[in-house]
Structure 1
């Protein structure tokens, strides 16, 4: 349990959210919290978990739950990790360095965003648990290669390629705010010329959308993955898979893992909720590679549902930023520990002693039907 300086206990992710909102500027808050267009998919991610009903088991002889998991040869104390998000210095002066420290205290995976506001090397120096690096596919492939090589030299464990952004979703909150990255915050791992548009404010428009349109390569196809494979010896994880068809193609093209994700509801508004796509994708993969998950997880019972449907790991996007804003590294660790404690509690009451014991029998099947995204 974490406490504010006032002594108010932070017991849930919602507590961290309320604390963070008081401390973060309104335009930055909208950047973090917002989704695409009418935010239907953003809301659907949360509603999908509201439909889930767990099946408790009694007299199971399970006094405690083991939440440890291993992936790509690295052991973690929890299957709940941190999804890639950009510009952590928007909410904390230490940025991703503090996030890395917090993840380490919780024994959790931290996927560092391509647009991190601290260097790959500084983040690695602060980490004590596994790090991966996330990339978008840029027109400037030399920039991608450089980042992958730096990550490998710095001890990162995998490259996560986000594949659902041939163009950025229409994020109306950012457009109404004329949002741009300001002050001394920048994507410091990329040369300034590549990032210039992200800092140019335009009333009624999003600087990040303008930057994406100019810098991302929308012609990316499955055949291009071979080039990235040649850039690094690290495992390649594809993030943004929502259909059986794309899951099968990912396996066929040698993905070492995939992430079921709709980008936190920030891309195609009206897309299926991540949880509603998870079983379809896991079935299509058929154990050929690990399946990870993000989208709407706010409590340990949510993580249990995703793990029971076939995820090996569950990644949190917004909640670690809430923790970072509310309390720096301690806040990040608090969010992760709280979710892990909730998961262990739910596992005991469901009669599941370890993560491999979680399967679809932990959930009431009818509660997962009828996605509404």
Structure 2
């Protein structure tokens, strides 16, 4: 996977590479995500007689060939001319769900033609009418889940983008936003990142639990709440009707210094106690990382930056290599750990770091 990342870095401009690779602040959380994952160790079971292990899973209501989905990521045409369509085509071939971002560079209707099982990721816009419009478009396009990102009341200070004064090229838009909301990310900001200023003007920072309740009444799709670290929030999301939560620190791109996602995972799993599924993202780079997350109680993971590396390196074929590598590594990890399928991983002994919140 690191080889694909190196190849992507060679073909992308320095500014685009920084945009997809960087984190917020001093990037301590970005680095901590990997460090914490590498601290998780699992036991193995022996003499099981297993010759082959199944990687199949069910994520929310979607059957998947692997216990992973593609994380929602913005502006993928920055990486390849076919952008989200190329990545979704690879997801369809691999049999994994593809989450379409609100700020995708291609419309969901066009992405749906690639044939992947789609989820739609929702950022909360200031105009509720537009929120309803997006939900209806997602339903009409055949999406199987609605993923609400809750950890971006504002975009955090991402120093690489600020220093680069990063702006989108004129030929890339946020395809799901109205025309008067699309242009801000193309205009050089007075102080730093045009993308940050654009999202600040388009997104509503007042999103609350009451809004989540309202959203549940607007859609027939299962709702996934993405961006949870505190077990108390996970329990509240489950009680509000969420079918899954995603333990996530936004890949180290929001508040710098928060818990690594893998560290927060166990506390969330214990707190929800089966009331909803628990997914996890931020730092997944290998099949062993997926095994680690499953061992700590996750039902599956979201994979982000490696998909972008594959997209930059080779379009659909490059993303396909990412999925093939993850599948091969996970199959081997399951077999070596003595697990016949992904559900058996939870029974493995493991060591690592975890965190739980005080009652309240």
- Of stretches 245-254 and 86-95 in structure 1, the one that deviates more from structure 2 is 245-254
How many angstroms does 1:196 deviate by?
2.3
**Is 1:44 aligned to 2:29, yes or no?**
no
**Is 1:60 aligned to 2:48, yes or no?**
yes
**Is 1:198 aligned to 2:185, yes or no?**
yes
Cα pair 2:149 2:226 within 8 Å, conserved: yes
**Is 1:122 aligned to 2:107, yes or no?**
no
How many angstroms does 1:204 deviate by?
4.3
Instruction: Supply the distance in 1 between the matched residues of 2:185 and 2:219 (Cα, whole angstroms).
Output: 28
Q: State the SS of the aligned residue for 2:77.
A: helix
- Of stretches 316-325 and 205-214 in structure 1, the one that deviates more from structure 2 is 205-214
Q: State the SS of the aligned residue for 1:359.
A: helix
How many angstroms does 1:341 deviate by?
1.2
How many angstroms does 1:346 deviate by?
0.6
What does 1:1-373 align with in structure 2 at a 5 Å threshold? 13-127=1-115, 129-202=116-189, 204-359=191-346, 361-363=348-350, 365=351, 367-368=352-353
Deviations 1:48-97 (CA, angstroms, capped at 9, x unpaired): 11112221222111111100012344311111221000001001000101
How many angstroms does 1:231 deviate by?
2.2
How many angstroms does 1:165 deviate by?
0.7
Cα pair 1:103 1:109 within 8 Å, conserved: yes
Instruction: Supply the distance in 1 between the matched residues of 2:354 and 2:296 (Cα, whole angstroms).
Output: 13
In structure 2, list runs of 5 or more residues that go unmatched. Answer: none
Instruction: State the TM-score, normalizing by the size of structure 1.
Output: 0.93
Cα pair 1:176 1:204 within 8 Å, conserved: no
Q: State the SS of the aligned residue for 1:238.
A: strand
How many angstroms does 1:105 deviate by?
1.2
Instruction: State the TM-score, normalizing by the size of structure 2.
Output: 0.96
Give the equivalent residue in structure 2 for 1:5: none
How many angstroms does 1:370 deviate by?
8.6
How many angstroms does 1:361 deviate by?
2.4
Q: State the SS of the aligned residue for 1:58.
A: coil
How many angstroms does 1:173 deviate by?
0.5
- Of stretches 197-206 and 269-278 in structure 1, the one that deviates more from structure 2 is 197-206
